[in-house]
Structure 1
Amino acid sequence: MTEESKLAFQANKSANIIRNLCDLYGLLLQDAADIYYQSDTSELIEDGIADLHCRSDKYLATIIWDEYQERQKQSAEQIRDI
């Protein structure tokens, strides 16, 4: 696979995951993109770690959403502890 085709594949994968975040959780496109690109999982996907890019887009969207929810929960707990 050429570098150009790898980049195209990654861009398509990212777009599909973002679209799934919108569809599954009723998010606006910009919000879904922000959640995706701020996630640790997106970095793992782009780095090809653990063959995550082979997983379904819907599955990865749920993983990223769970990660986002956990981050939100931790932020709320930190604010509460202040």
Structure 2
Amino acid sequence: MSETDLALRANKNAAIILALTELFSISLLDATNIYFQSDTARLIEEKVADLHCRSEKYLATVVWEEYQEKNTSLDNH
């Protein structure tokens, strides 16, 4: 992977994390943990379904919904 690709990936990740903090009023640390523990982050990394082409706010919303779903299912067990 080229340095350009690495820089683009890092910028995309940072933008999604920042969008999480802004959209859902959570700390940068919480947003970072939520993002990197998500299945969505892995799918973005693997460029599945062109997710890496989606807007940061859209992806932040998808990550947040995944996080909420996982926490709801854990609470129900």
Aligned to 1:50: 49
Unaligned runs of 5+ in 1: none
Aligned to 1:22: 21
Does residue 46 of structure 2 align to residue 68 of structure 1?
no
Point out 4+ residue stretches in structure 1 off by more than 2 angstroms: none
Aligned partners of 1:14 and 1:36: how far apart in 2? 8
Structure 1 residue 47, shift from structure 2 partner: 1.0
Identity among equivalent positions (%) equals: 52
Aligned to 1:31: 30
Higher-Rg structure is 1
Q: Name which of structure 1's ranges 31-40 and 3-12 shifts more when overlaid on structure 2.
A: 3-12
Query: TM (normalized to structure 2)?
Result: 0.97
Aligned partners of 2:47 and 2:4: how far apart in 1? 14
Count of equivalent residues = 77
Unaligned runs of 5+ in 2: none
Q: Which amino acid aligns with 1:38?
A: Q
Secondary structure at the counterpart of residue 76 of structure 2: helix
